[in-house]
Amino acid sequence: MESIYDVIRRITPPDEAARAASKARWDSLAKPLGSLGLFEDMIAKTAALRGNADVRLRDRRLLVFCADNGVVAQGVTQCGSEVTAKVAQALAEGRSSVSPMAALADCRVTPVDVGMLDFPGHPGVLSRRVRSGTADISLGPAMDREKCLAAMEAGAALAKHCAGDGADILLIGEMGIGNTTTAAAVVSVLLGLDPAVVTGRGAGLSDEGLSRKRAVIEQAIAVNRPDPDNPVDVLAKVGGLDLAAMCGAYLGAAAYCVPAVIDGFISAAAALCALRMCPAAGKAMLASHVSAEPAGQILMDALGLEAPICARLCLGEGSGAVALLPLLDMALAVYHSGQSFKRLGIEAYTPQN
C-alpha cells in the first residue's frame, strides 16, 4: 500500500486544454451562455481532471466509511455506538435510508469498516479495519499518528482500486455515531473558530445536549492541543478513523483522476483536511449540498466550492452526494445532445461586454 505522501506526490495539475474544450462544447449548444451554471462548471472541471472533454458518468460508486468514536461516552449523541454497525449492515443489505436513493440514481453503495467498535464483519461490508473504534478525545488523542495514516492510506487505496476498476465518479460518505462531534473539533481547529460557531445538534440534540457537546469539544482541543498547521495531527488527536479514511479517499481520487463528490458536514471536514495537505487535491472535489449543520456554508467557503443543493439536508450516509447525480445526469443529457446553434439554424450567442 502506498504511503499517503506518495499518493500526494502523484497529484498533478488539471488539464486546462480539456477544460477549455468542455467549455467550448457548452458554448456551442443552443442556449444562453453559461445558463446551466454550476453544472457546466462541474462537467468542465471533470473534463480537466480526466483530461478528456467527453465526460461520461456511467459507473457511480458511493463509499460509506464506517467507524466508531470513543467520545460517545461523554453523552454527545442521542444513541449508542451500536447503531453504527446496524446502519452499516443495513447499507450492505440495501435497507438503509440512502439505498433507495442510490438505486434510483444507479449508484453502487459500499459500506467500508475502517474502525467500528468490536465489529465481527458482515457480508457486503468491506473490511479495511485499522482499529476497534477510537479513544475519547475529551481525555486524550483519538488515536496515534500511525493509525491515522493507516486509515488515510486505506481510503486512498480504495479510491485507487475504484479508479482502476472503471469508476467514473466516487461519492464520499460516512456512518459513525459521534462523528459530528469529531468533525466539529477538526473544523474548529483547522479554521480557528470557536466550537460554538461550528457545532450543531447532529442527530437532534436538545439544548442541554448541544451545550454539553460544545463543552466536550472545547475540552478535547484544550487537552490535545492539535497543531492547526498539521492536518494529520488534528485528525489523530481530535478526529476519527472515518474522517481520516475519507481524507485519504479524496487524495486518492485526485491522484488517480476520478471526481469525488463531497456529501455533508463530516465529508466536507475530511475534504478540508485533504485540501490542507495538498491544495491541488481540490481539482477532484465536487460539492453536492450545503449541510444544515452550522458550519455547512463555512466549509463550502473554506473549500472554495459552491454547492448546487440547499435543502437543509443532514441525513449522512452519502445521501446528499447521491442527490447530486440526477442533476448531473440532466446536465450531461444537454451536454451530449448535439443541439448546437448551427444545427438548429440559430446565430450563436457571443459574450457581451
Strands ordered across the beta sheet of 260-262:
126-127, 107-115, 60-67, 169-175, 260-262, 285-287
Phi, psi (degrees; rounded to nearest 5) at 30: -80, 80
> What angle do helix axes 265-277 and 179-191 make, rounded to 10 degrees?
40
| Rounded Cα gap, residues 339 and 353, in angstroms | 26
3-state secondary structure of 19: helix
3-state secondary structure of 107: strand
Where are the strands (E) in the chain, listed by range?
60-67, 107-115, 126-127, 169-175, 260-262, 285-287
Cβ neighbours of residue 341 under 8 Å, at least 6 residues apart?
A: 28, 29, 30, 347, 348, 349
Cβ neighbours of residue 336 under 8 Å, at least 6 residues apart?
A: none
Cell of 340: 448546437
Phi, psi (degrees; rounded to nearest 5) at 286: -120, 130
Active site residue 16: no
| Rounded Cα gap, residues 282 and 262, in angstroms | 11
Candidates 40, 153, 174, 317; catalytic one: 317
Please, what's the largest Cα pairwise distance for the chain? 70
DSSP 146-209: HHHHHHHHHHHHHHHHHHHTT-SEEEEEEE-TTHHHHHHHHHHHHHT--HHHH---TTT--HHH
Q: Determine the distance from the C-alpha atom of residue 103 to the mean position of all C-alpha atoms in its chain, rounded to a whole number.
A: 20
| Rounded Cα gap, residues 341 and 346, in angstroms | 5
Active-site annotation, residues: 317
